[in-house]
Amino acid sequence: MPVKKITSKTKFPSSLLTPKNLIIGGLIILALLFIVARNYFIVATVNGQPISRFELNARLNQQFGTSVLDQLVNERLLMGAARQQGIFITSQEIDEKIKEIEKSLDGKMSLEQALSLQGLNPSTFRKQMELQLSIEKIFAKDGTVSATEIDEYLKNNQNLFPEATDPAKLKTEVEGFLKQQKISKLYEEWFNKIKKDAKVSKNI
């Protein structure tokens, strides 16, 4: 016996499309969706009492919403200004910076452990590296440190390095420290001006 093919023109029995069956089908679909999404909407239970994601988000927004929003606004202002200057940070540059940081840990702890102590995850850390590298590029020329500045700092702060045994390494570390100091000062002045001129509208 030949098998009848179901085509777009094939009609289903009208008995299956009754209002009652449609309601039952809808309830089944809703039940399945609830089961699948339950872990998303319910973040915890305490003695059988659920704590919803909406409740969690409301509490987080109430306690930290303003500070987190300010942080996001500052990030957008910084990245927007950097891109206007043609500055873009690649994934490779971020990877190289992370490798430098891992090397500086000298095996005392893993990068994951260091991030955990600061309450950071890899994704957030990479974003911070992108912001830091953008700032360094913006002030690459103005943030240079001369050999005279390094020698003067070492002369005036000899008591800070009583156990230093490698002069070349010490000078490199001091150069990095002085460079960060100079860039931080330049960045603060520059960013305050950008923030003052920006049009920011907040709804919380």
How far is CA 201 from each of CA 47, 69, 198, rounded to the nearest angstrom?
A: 42, 11, 10
Q: Which two tokens stand for residue 30?
A: 């809703």
Q: What is the pLDDT of residue 1?
A: 47
The whole-number pLDDT of residue 8 equals 47
What is the structure's pLDDT at 134? Answer: 94
Cα–Cα dist 132/97, whole Å: 10
Residue type, 121: N
Is 52 in contact with 41 (CB distance < 8 Å)?
A: yes
* pTM of structure: 0.66
> Which pLDDT value is given to residue 22?
66
Q: Confirm whether 175 is domain-assigned.
A: yes
Q: Is residue 184 part of a domain?
A: yes
| 173 in any annotated domain | yes
Residue 189 lies in a domain: yes
Report the C-alpha gap between 171 and 158 in whole angstroms: 12
The reported pLDDT for the residue numbered 48 is 81
Residue 187: inside a domain: yes
97 occurs within a structural domain: no
DSSP alpha helix (H) spans, the chain: 19-41, 53-84, 91-104, 111-117, 122-138, 147-156, 167-197
Per-residue pLDDT tens digits of the chain, which is 204 residues long: 454 554 545 555 555 556 666 676 677 776 666 665 566 677 788 878 888 888 888 888 888 888 888 999 999 999 999 999 999 999 999 999 999 888 888 778 888 888 888 888 889 899 999 999 999 999 988 888 999 999 898 888 877 776 777 788 888 888 888 999 999 999 999 999 999 988 888 877
Q: Count of domains in the chain?
A: 1
138 Cβ neighbours under 8 A, 6+ residues apart: 81, 82, 85, 87, 187, 190
- Looking at residue 161, its pLDDT comes to 78
Beta pairing, strands 49-52 & 42-46: antiparallel
User: Is residue 194 included in any domain, yes or no?
Assistant: yes
For residue 174, tell me if it sits in a domain: yes
Task: Tell me the β-bridge partners of 50.
Answer: 45
- CA dist 136 and 128 (Å) reads 12
- Its domain, for residue 194, covers 140-158+166-199
